[in-house]
């Protein structure tokens, strides 16, 4: 069966991934169910440990298979599950980063307060992976606009596009209130998280795949940035939310340069003409 880019596929990701050719996707991003008994409408989020891990191993291996040699695999989850994912991915791909996304959650009793989600960043191959550095605006005082850091007295040498983003992300906030989530989806991610990941790992015209699309955040971010997307979602309610949002979204964000090819800084590059991805209809 042929797979088109720029579509949301309703169904089980393991089944649907089988239709995607080897080495055809630039970036896979996965935000799977956390097995924490979240209230999804079509998915039982409480598997046994063995079942959950065996299932995760299958789709992780599939994600590596479909990723191009220059591509990356990004997986978001709580640290506990990422330790198992890393053990699988270490066998099939190459570790680049563990991104700690600072996002406060609830005290769980006699533990340290969980204060970050992780995003595993693996590349398909050890060398030749697409990667663009990301900068974020220098922090300024809300009242007077002055820079908060003095950079060792070298403010005049500050980079005009901001500071280099590290592997600890504190500037992107979770969508806390269920009212702000589409269809009150229990785990919708903020779009800026996906935009940053996509800018970091792709060029305009590349193909981004999300096997757990939920309300469509990855696809919307890809479309906004002039990338192609393929999303898979099991639940028809979320699939419809994602498809409706995509139908009503327009590529390009106000005041946001769409990246192109000619500069090292994704936010200031110009768009180049894009040919449709070779592997897809
Ligand atoms: C953590 S949520 C993803 C949320 C998404 N990142 C967003 O921002 O909306 C996981 C999603 O995976 C879906 N899902 C669960 N099992 C699936 C499967 N086998 N195939 C495809 N989707 C599945 C769930 O319905 C849920 O919407």
Reported as a single tens digit per residue, the pLDDT across 107-155 is: 777 888 889 999 999 999 999 999 999 999 888 888 888 888 777 777 7
Q: Indicate if ligand 1 lies below 6 Å from the C-beta of 195.
A: no
Nearest of 44, 43, 55, 126 to residue 85 by alpha carbon: 55
Per-position DSSP letters for 225-251, written without gaps between them: TT-EEEEEES-HHHHHHHHHHHHT--S
Task: Assign 269 a pLDDT band (cuts: 50, 70, 90).
Answer: very low
Into how many domains does the chain fold?
1
- In the chain, the DSSP E strands lie at 7-10, 25-30, 67-77, 94-102, 116-123, 135-136, 163-164, 168-169, 207-210, 228-233
> Which residues are CB-neighbours of 244 under 8 A, at least 6 positions away?
none
Answer whether residue 76 is part of any domain: yes
User: For ligand 1, what atom is nearest to the CA of residue 181?
Assistant: 9
pLDDT (average), residues 26-44: 83
User: What pLDDT is stored for residue 258 in this prediction?
Assistant: 40
Burial of 159 (0-12, 13-18, 19+ CB in 10 A): exposed
Is residue 64 one of the residues assigned to a domain? yes
In this structure, is residue 2 part of a structural domain?
no
| Nearest in space to 219 (alpha carbons), one of 247, 187, 253, 181 | 247
Residue 190, sorted as left (phi over 0), alpha (psi -120 to 50) or beta, turns out to be: beta
Boundaries of domain holding 163: 7-268
In short, whether 185's Cβ falls inside 6 Å of ligand 1 is yes
How does residue 184 score in pLDDT terms, banded at 50, 70 and 90? Answer: low
Q: What is the CATH number of the domain that holds 107?
A: 3.40.50.150
Predicted confidence band at 181 (pLDDT cuts at 50, 70, 90)? low
Residue 221 CB less than 6 A away from ligand 1: no
Does the residue 273 lie in any domain? no
**Residue 277 falls inside a structural domain:** no
Query: What is the pLDDT averaged over residues 255-270?
Result: 39
Asked, for residue 186, whether it belongs to a domain, the answer is: yes
Query: Is residue 274 assigned to a domain?
Result: no
Q: For residue 238, which atom of ligand 1 is closest to its CA?
A: 27
Residue nearest to atom 4 of ligand 1 (CA): 214
Q: Taking the model in full, what pTM does it have?
A: 0.87
The helix, strand and coil proportions of the chain, stated in percent and rounded to the nearest 5, come to 30, 20, 50
Range list of H helices, the chain? 13-17, 49-66, 79-92, 191-201, 217-224, 236-247
Average the pLDDT over 27-45 and give the result. Answer: 82
Tokens of 135: 């900068």
Our answer on whether the CB atom of 215 is closer than 6 Å to any ligand 1 atom is: yes
Choose one of 234, 236, 238, 246 to mutate for the ligand 1 pocket test, by most ligand atoms within 8 angstroms of C-beta: 234
Nearest atom in ligand 1 to the alpha carbon of residue 216 is 9
Atom of ligand 1 at shortest range from CA of 210: 6
Atom 5 of ligand 1: nearest residue by CA position: 214
279 found inside a domain: no
Supply the pLDDT for residue 42: 65
Q: For residues 148 and 162, what is the distance between their CA atoms, to the nearest angstrom?
A: 13
Closest alpha carbon to 97 in 170, 34, 166: 166
Mean pLDDT for the chain?
A: 86
Between the CA of 50 and the centroid of ligand 1 the distance, in Å, is 20
């Amino acid at each position: 069966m042929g797979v088109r880019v720029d579509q949301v596929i309703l169904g089980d990701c393991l089944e649907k991934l089988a239709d995607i050719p080897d080495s055809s996707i630039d970036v896979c991003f996965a935000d799977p169910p956390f097995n924490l008994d979240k209230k999804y409408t079509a998915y039982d989020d409480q598997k046994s440990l063995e079942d959950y891990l065996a299932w995760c191993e299958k789709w992780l291996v599939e994600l590596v298979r479909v990723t191009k040699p220059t591509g990356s695999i990004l997986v978001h989850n709580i640290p506990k599950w990422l330790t198992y994912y890393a053990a699988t991915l270490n066998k099939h791909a190459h570790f680049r980063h563990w991104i700690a996304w600072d996002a406060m959650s609830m005290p769980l009793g006699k533990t340290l307060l969980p204060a970050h989600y992780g995003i595993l960043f693996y590349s398909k191959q050890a060398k030749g992976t697409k990667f663009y550095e990301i900068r974020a605006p220098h922090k300024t005082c809300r009242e007077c606009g002055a820079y908060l850091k003095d950079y060792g007295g070298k403010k005049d040498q500050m980079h005009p596009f901001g500071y280099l983003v590290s592997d600890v992300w504190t500037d992107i906030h979770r969508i806390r209130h269920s009212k702000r989530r589409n269809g009150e989806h229990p785990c919708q991610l903020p779009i800026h998280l996906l935009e940053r990941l996509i800018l970091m790992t792709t060029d305009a015209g590349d193909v981004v795949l999300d096997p757990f699309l939920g309300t469509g955040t990855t696809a919307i971010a890809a479309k906004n940035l002039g990338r192609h997307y393929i999303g898979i979602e099991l639940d028809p309610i979320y699939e419809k939310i994602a498809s409706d949002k995509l139908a009503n979204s327009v590529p390009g964000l106000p005041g946001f340069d769409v990246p192109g090819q000619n500069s090292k800084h994704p936010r200031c590059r110009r768009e180049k003409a894009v040919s449709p991805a070779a592997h897809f209809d």
